[in-house]
């Protein structure tokens, strides 16, 4: 039980948080882990707050409930910080990764004194520079892999290349951009001191 | 050694259907089982199966088409949830009374109303007296394995009953998890060909199926259905034995998890059993003798076996994910307590209605049930046995 890493994703419908959680599950599966990747389905509308979850473990996972005390939280859209209690139950030895351009002081205020580590990344910048469109999920996926250390970067990059080739078999022109987004995001994610 | 994969419960069910490659699949989409016919239709389109896929206009027609296909001598499958099953209801009884071994994947969801798309077992419980064999699945793996065993059970000449494989909507149907698949050829060999003894398209033996059946014989025919249900128990065990030889995965009528020496026990079905196992382990670490009986075969109901398995515990909680709304507990509770009583087992047993309409069930809640049971077993009696878990008051 202790070796399970639990991750909660907060995003808005249409931003790909669910897809990101499934891609993370895929990547961890490919490194030999036991995985769960599941969204919490609600009214599915573009822009509505959505939650998705991951469990990653080296032994079989039997629990089938939502995650209430995650090790990591990923916030795909920083407008959620004002309306959703994103750090609820988040372990203080864990970390939160936020897609934002807000500065440290502003974030600390919004996170109501969360004592764990705070990481940020400007996923919009990464996405626009590499894909020319705003798809925050790929950069956020790379960011959480880096922060959580659930697999090494080289393995992750190699695995994602395979996943994208499969996923975008009919749109090969977007594979390069997504790979660049991953590599750039791995460098861009920074801890706030 | 099988194939290591990661699939959602719906993908697992669709994959089983692909490997079974039935003659006919007739289905109408409904959340959360929609993906099953959706994936299956792509297998048809890609030529990975040679199934006749009937995209019907309703669930009533889906079951009707399966009935027609099976009566004709074909192997037919379908998938549905909640109100889809409700809409099939008339034909559900026709299928079992015509002794047609149709196999259904039922992705459990609350029956409206008010409208709710999430998991509970009210759909399955609504057809518990319809004469279908009902298998429940904790995980995507079990949903897959149960489907692979389904035809061997349903089509056995001592059984000839339709069979549904249940799994929890969203909780397992939409969660990507590890799974071990069998190679296509092994599935094909295990499931085998379907050679019905009597069927409509047999010109050497012209027969009528489903004619009027009045006072003279309906009673006897219903008795035969009940008899077939009794026969199914041994067939389910025999098929499970063969399946274990093939995969190493062991299945019975139910799974006893640390129940041997348990003082207190929970009885439940589907995904909650996994969460309960986690709680059992943590209580065992604290020296509390907790156990679990996870029911796999709900119909036929293994009353005698359950009574025997629970005979030595001091308190039992039966968790029902559907309320019978009769004021005295859910259907599983009624069956378990009746089975214990008839078989001379007297253990304080309480009913917990839980998880209705997708209400999440946590380890903390399961712990609270075991805590209640510890109190019950200390006192040797229970107060109000009709309890609710996770209900906001």
Give residue-wise pLDDT tens across range A12-21: 988 889 999 9
DSSP helix, strand, coil percent of chain A (3-state; round to 5): 40, 20, 40
- Predicted pLDDT of residue A4: 96
Instruction: Report the number of distinct structural domains present in chain A.
Output: 1
Domain limits for position A47: 5-192
Q: Closest Cα of chain A to B323: distance in Å?
A: 21
Contact (CB<8Å) A41/B277 = no
Q: Is the predicted pLDDT of residue A47 greater than 90, yes or no?
A: no
**Tokens representing residue B334 in the block:** 């009624």
Strands ordered across the beta sheet of A72-75: A190-192, A117-121, A95-99, A72-75, A5-12, A49-57, A34-40, B176-181, B3-7
pLDDT at A2: 57
ipTM: 0.95
| Contact across the interface for B170 and A25, Cβ inside 8 Å | no
Residues 6+ apart with CB under 8 A from A3: A57, A58, A59
Q: Is B258 on the interface with A (CB under 8 A)?
A: no
B82 in contact with A, Cβ within 8 Å: no
Establish if B278 touches chain A: CB-CB under 8 angstroms. Answer: yes
Chain B positions in Cβ-Cβ contact with residue A52 (cut-off 8 Å): none
- Residue B354's CATH number: 3.40.50.920
Does residue B99 sit in the same domain as residue B33?
A: yes
Q: Nearest by CB to A64, which of B118, B171, B178?
A: B171
The pair phi, psi for residue B309, each rounded to 5°, is -65, -25
Instruction: Report CB contact under 8 Å: A61, B277.
Output: no
How far out from the chain centre does Cα B131 lie? 13
Model confidence at B211: pLDDT above 70: yes
Give the per-residue pLDDT at A163: 86
Asked if B266 and B328 sit in the same domain, the reply is yes
Rg (CA), chain A: 16
Name the residue of chain A whose CA is nearest to B355's CA. Answer: A65
Confidence (pLDDT) at B313: 97
Contact A64 B168 (CB under 8 A): yes
Contacts of A36 (CB under 8 A, 6+ apart): A25, A53, A54, A55, A56, A61, B175, B176, B177
A contacts of B360 (beta carbons < 8 Å): 65-66
C-beta separation of B106 from B137 below 8 A: no
Sign of the Cα torsion B170, B176, B180, B182 reads positive
Same domain, B195 and B264: no
Distance CA A1, CA B208 (A): 58
Is pLDDT above 50 for A1?
A: no
Q: Across the interface, which of A25, A60, A66 has its CB nearest the CB of B6?
A: A25
Tell me: do B185 and B41 sit in the same domain.
yes
Rounded Cα distance between A82 and B327, Å, is 43
Averaged pLDDT, B324-347: 97
Same domain, B226 and B319: no
Phi/psi of residue B282, each to 5°? -70, -35
d(CA B105, CA B121): 14
* Diameter over CA atoms, chain A: 46
**Domain hosting residue B376, numbered range:** 254-389
Q: What percent of chain B has pLDDT over 70?
A: 100
Residue A160's domain is classified under what CATH number?
3.40.920.10
> Which of B197, B228, B247 is the last residue before a domain boundary?
B247
Give the minimum alpha-carbon distance from B133 to chain A in angstroms, rounded to a whole number.
Answer: 25
Residue where a domain terminates, one of B198, B232, B247: B247
* Residue B174 contacts A, CB cutoff 8 Å: yes
User: Cβ contacts (< 8 Å) between B172 and chain A: which residues?
Assistant: 64
Per residue in A69-125, pLDDT (tens digit) is 999 999 999 999 999 999 999 999 999 999 999 999 999 999 988 999 999 999 999
Please state the pTM of the whole predicted model.
Answer: 0.97
B214 and B161, same domain (yes or no): yes
Q: Using CA atoms, how far apart are residues B372 and A83, in angstroms rounded to an integer?
A: 37
Domain termination site, one of B199, B223, B247: B247
* B211 and B296, same domain (yes or no): no
**Greatest CA separation for chain B:** 68
How many domains are contained in chain B? Answer: 2
The 3-state secondary structure of A87-124, one letter per residue: CCCCCCCCEEEEECCCCHHHHHHHCCCCCCEEEEECHH
Interface of A to B at Cβ within 8 Å reads 1, 22, 25-26, 29, 34-39, 41, 60-66, 68
Residue found by looking up tokens 């069998």 in the block: B182
CB of B42 within 8 Å of any CB in chain A? no
């Amino acid at each position: 039980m202790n070796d399970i890493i639990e991750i909660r994703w907060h995003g808005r419908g249409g931003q790909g948080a669910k897809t990101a959680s499934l891609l993370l599950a895929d990547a961890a599966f490919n490194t030999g882990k036991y995985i769960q990747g599941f969204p919490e389905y609600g009214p599915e509308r573009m822009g509505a707050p959505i939650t998705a979850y991951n469990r990653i473990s080296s032994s079989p996972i039997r629990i089938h409930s939502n995650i209430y005390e995650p090790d990591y939280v990923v916030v795909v859209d920083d407008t959620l910080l004002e309306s959703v209690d994103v750090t609820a139950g988040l372990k203080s030895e864990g970390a939160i990764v936020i897609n934002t351009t807000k500065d440290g002081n502003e974030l600390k205020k919004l996170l109501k004194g969360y004592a764990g580590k705070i990481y940020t990344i400007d996923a919009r910048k990464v996405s626009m520079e590499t894909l020319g469109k705003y798809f925050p999920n790929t950069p956020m996926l790379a960011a959480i892999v880096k922060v959580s250390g659930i697999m090494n970067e080289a393995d992750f990059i190699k695995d994602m290349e395979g996943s994208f080739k499969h996923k975008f078999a009919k749109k090969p022109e977007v594979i390069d951009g997504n790979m660049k987004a991953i590599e750039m995001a791995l460098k861009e994610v920074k801890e706030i001191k | 050694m099988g194939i290591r994969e990661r699939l959602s419960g719906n993908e697992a069910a669709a994959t089983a259907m692909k490997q079974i490659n039935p003659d006919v699949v007739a289905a109408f989409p409904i959340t959360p089982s929609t993906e099953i016919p959706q994936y299956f239709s792509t297998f048809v389109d890609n030529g990975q199966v040679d199934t006749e896929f009937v995209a019907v206009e309703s669930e009533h027609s889906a079951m009707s088409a399966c009935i027609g296909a099976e009566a004709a001598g074909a192997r037919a499958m379908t998938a549905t949830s909640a109100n889809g099953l409700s809409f099939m209801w008339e034909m559900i009884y026709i299928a079992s009374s015509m002794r047609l071994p149709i196999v259904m994947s039922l992705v459990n969801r609350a029956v409206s109303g008010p409208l709710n798309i999430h998991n509970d077992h009210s759909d399955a419980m609504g057809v518990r007296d319809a004469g279908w064999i009902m298998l429940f699945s904790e995980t995507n793996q079990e949903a897959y394995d149960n489907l692979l065993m389904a035809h061997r059970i349903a089509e056995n000449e001592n059984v000839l009953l339709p069979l549904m494989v249940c799994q929890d909507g969203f909780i397992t149907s939409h969660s990507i998890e590890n799974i071990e698949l069998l190679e296509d050829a092994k599935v094909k060999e295990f499931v085998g060909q379907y050679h019905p003894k009597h069927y409509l398209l047999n010109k050497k033996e012209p027969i009528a199926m489903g004619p009027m059946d009045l006072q003279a014989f309906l009673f006897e025919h219903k008795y035969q259905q009940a008899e077939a249900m009794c026969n199914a128990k041994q067939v389910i065990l025999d098929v499970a034995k063969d399946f274990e030889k093939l995969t190493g995965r062991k299945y019975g009528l139910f799974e006893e998890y640390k129940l041997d020496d348990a003082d207190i026990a929970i009885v439940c079905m589907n995904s909650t059993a996994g969460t309960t196992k986690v709680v059992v382990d943590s209580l065992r670490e604290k020296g509390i003798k907790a156990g679990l009986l996870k029911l796999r075969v709900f119909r036929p109901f293994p009353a005698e076996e359950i009574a025997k398995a629970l005979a030595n515990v001091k308190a039992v909680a039966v968790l029902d994910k559907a309320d019978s709304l009769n004021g005295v507990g859910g259907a599983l509770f009624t069956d378990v307590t009746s089975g214990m009583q008839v078989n001379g087992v007297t253990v304080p047993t309480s009913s917990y209605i839980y998880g209705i309409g997708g209400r999440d069930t946590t380890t903390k809640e399961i712990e609270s049930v075991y805590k209640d049971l510890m109190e019950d077993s200390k006192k040797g009696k229970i107060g109000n046995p009709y309890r609710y878990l996770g209900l906001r008051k």
